[in-house]
Amino acid sequence: PTIHVIDADGAEHVLEGDVKASLMENLCDHDLPLDADCGGSCACATCHVLVDPDWAARLATPSLDEQALLEEEASYQPGRSRLSCQIDFRAELDGLRVTLLPRR
Ligand code: FES
């Protein structure tokens, strides 16, 4: 299954996703610019990405902890913002499109 990633410069990258890994791990494994400082513990929000609206509705809703962290982000976009470490990538998400934010 593929993941389409638009980087902060607007360039599109198409990755072959690993369904045993989170979205964050997939992005980092392909050397995309994402910090993920806390290593996936839902504690830092440096793995914040924007999910395309069509896809956002197909993901499990964020936990209260994830939602609280997202709402503190200056770049928070309701309905699109997610912490990529909290999304399990799986085959049904083939074609998922996400946009990276500029690094802080
Ligand atoms: Fe820290 Fe996702 S890596 S919240």
Atom number, ligand 1, closest to the C-alpha of residue 69: 4
C-alpha 55/C-alpha 79 separation (Å) is 10
Q: Whose CA is nearest to atom 4 of ligand 1?
A: 42
CATH of the domain at 81: 3.10.20.30
Q: Distance from the CA of 86 to the center of ligand 1, in angstroms?
A: 8
C-alpha 27/C-alpha 72 separation (Å) is 23
> For 4-13, b where at least 16 C-beta lie within 10 A, e where not — what string?
ebbbeeeeee
**The whole model's pTM is what?**
0.95
Is the predicted pLDDT of residue 104 greater than 80, yes or no? no
Containing structural domain, residue 72: 2-100
Q: How many domains does the chain have?
A: 1
Task: State yes or no: ipTM above 0.90.
Answer: yes
Atom number, ligand 1, closest to the C-alpha of residue 38: 1
Tokens representing 94 are 């083939």
* Predicted confidence (pLDDT) per residue in 58-100, tens digit: 999 999 999 999 999 999 999 999 999 999 999 999 999 999 9
